[in-house]
Amino acid sequence: MMGHRQVEQAALFYAFSLDRHVPADHLLRSIDRFVEFGELRRELAPFYSTLGRPSIDPELMIRMLIVGYCFGIRSERRLCEEVHLNLAYRWFCRLGLDGDVPDHSTFSKNRHGRFRHSDLLRRVFETVLRRSIREGLVGGEGFAVDASLIKADANRQNGIEGEKGLPSEATGRSVEEYLAVLDDAAFGAATEVTPKFISPADPAARWTGAHDGQAYFAYSTNYLIDIENAIIVDVEATTAIRQAEVLAAKRMIERAMDRFDLYPARLMGDSAYGSAEMLGWLLYEHGIEPHVTVFDKSARQDGTFSREDFSYDAAGDVYICPGSKMLTTTGTRVNDEATLIYRASKHDCAGCALKSRCCPSSPVRKVPRSIHEGARDMARVIARSWEGRISRRLRKKVEMLFAHLKRILKLDRLRLRGPSGARDEFLLAATAQNLRKMAKLIPVQTLQPV
């Protein structure tokens, strides 16, 4: 028998519970357990006036942004539409069925004002990190560090030659931020090399062809993670250049020590962090084992002996050449007092049978040695050990987080401009990744029927 036609009929009363319509295994239900923003409201209070009409609840805006970054909703206009229609999003944002969703322009107004002045997004990230530490997800023994390029919101076709500089008519918030960070070692002061092109839309973005493909304007997102559960311990935005990424690693390690009392026993990283100065900073200043690939370009390509063919005698502070002769140093430092030069005797080199393979075009052989060479030697020993092989595998967890960031969270190109915009997006994305990780590692406890 054909069923009756269903005709919508408005009821006078509805018995509807929003909580019952959010599935028990929904991601937002798992994440909601770890979102605690009570302290943030008190910290934000000085940035609000005591007069006038009430503002939009800042916790509502943060919850909406978390929804957007957890589910790859990049546009704030679209985010407002999705929260308006989606019951799970409404439940997470504490809006109920008839709560008003704020206008998308509210986010821009608060981002450029209260959120940045109070460093709110950094506080949100650290609040989530503290919760993960309390849950026992951060071991604190081993950290890994890496950086990844994220395209800036700047058209590569509109770049101007770096030698010409910005035109006098260039204005805007991103230009003001660019001028403000010219002396910051993480941005303008990272290198004295003038970039090939500058974007008038986002001058702080760096022109780079690091991936050997088509060059583009980009920023670097830097992650410091705990390797036990791949929890992001810190995140930093820098210009897309190696020197700035090394500085970011130092800042993140020191911030983890100062704010969270996390003192790692070892740090894992690729050769970008393998300079002598960086390895010395890790080992001598902080006692951290450098499980880092050494950045070494001492190997010669002309067939003559390289530095590794000379053995160092620590007791006598001399090098022994392949001909069993000594190279000594006067102790004078060169290259910003970071390098010692060891020289062989002219008498020894003149009559040496190996001179044609050692120093055919100079009277004596010289061998440079960094003042941090002991840290480099330790990193080389670790790299050849079984622990070093394990560390090289574990540090890939950072690369997996970058893949998740770009493919799942869809943050392969920035939507906001300027260093502050990059910092905001990277902090929110890292917060979303940590919340998703906690939701995965700590399942929701379901009540068993009696």
pLDDT tens string 254-268: 999 999 999 999 999
Domain ranges of the chain: 19-118, 127-270+395-441, 307-371
The structure's pTM equals 0.89
pLDDT of residue 449 exceeding 70, the answer is: no
The CA distance from 275 to 280, in Å, is: 9
* Residue 8 pLDDT: 56
Most confident of 23-27, 178-182, 403-407: 403-407
Average pLDDT over residues 304-325: 90
Give CA separation, 230 vs 66, 146, 252, in Å.
19, 13, 16
Of 190 and 85, the structure prediction assigns the larger pLDDT to: 85
Q: Does the pLDDT value for residue 446 go beyond 70? A: no
Distance, in Å, from the CA atom of 22 to the CA atom of 67, rounded to the nearest integer, reads: 15
76-133 pLDDT, tens digit per residue, is 999 999 999 999 999 999 998 888 898 888 888 888 877 888 888 999 999 999 999 9
Q: What is the pLDDT of residue 443?
A: 84
Per-residue pLDDT, averaged over 274-279, amounts to 93
Share of the chain above pLDDT 70, in %: 93
Question: Tokens representing 82?
Answer: 């999705």
Q: Which of 50-59, 150-159, 290-299 has the lowest mean pLDDT?
A: 50-59
At residue 320, does pLDDT exceed 90? yes
Higher-pLDDT residue of 241, 164: 241
Query: Average pLDDT over the chain, rounded to whole?
Result: 88
Q: Which range, of 44-58, 230-244, 261-275, averages the lowest pLDDT?
A: 44-58
**Confidence grade of residue 448 (pLDDT, cut at 50, 70, 90):** very low
In tens, the pLDDT along 360-396 reads 888 999 999 999 989 999 999 999 999 999 999 999 9
Q: Cα(384)–Cα(361) distance, rounded to whole angstroms?
A: 34
pLDDT at residue 14, as a whole number: 62
* C-alpha span between 68 and 73 (Å, rounded): 4
HEC profile of the chain? CCCCCCCCCCCCCCCCCCHHHCCCCCHHHHHHCCCCCHHHHHHHHHHCCCCCCCCCCHHHHHHHHHHHHHCCCCCHHHHHHHHHHCHHHHHHCCCCCCCCCCCCHHHHHHHHHHHHHCCHHHHHHHHHHHHHHHCCCCCCCEEEEEEEEEECCCCHHHCEECCCCCCCCCCCHHHHHHHHCCCCCCCHHHCCCCCCEECCCCCCCEEECCCCCCCEEEEEEEEEEECCCCEEEEEEEEECCHHHHHHHHHHHHHHHHHHHCCCCCEEEECHHHCCHHHHHHHHHHHCCEEEECCCCCCCCCCCCCCHHHCEEECCCCEEECCCCCEEECCCCEECCCCEEEEEECHHHHHCCCCHHHHCCCCCCCEEEEECCHHHHHHHHHHHHCHHHHHHHHHCHHHHHHHHHHHHCCCCCECCCCHHHHHHHHHHHHHHHHHHHHHHHHCCCCCCCCC
Residue 242 has pLDDT above 70, yes or no: yes
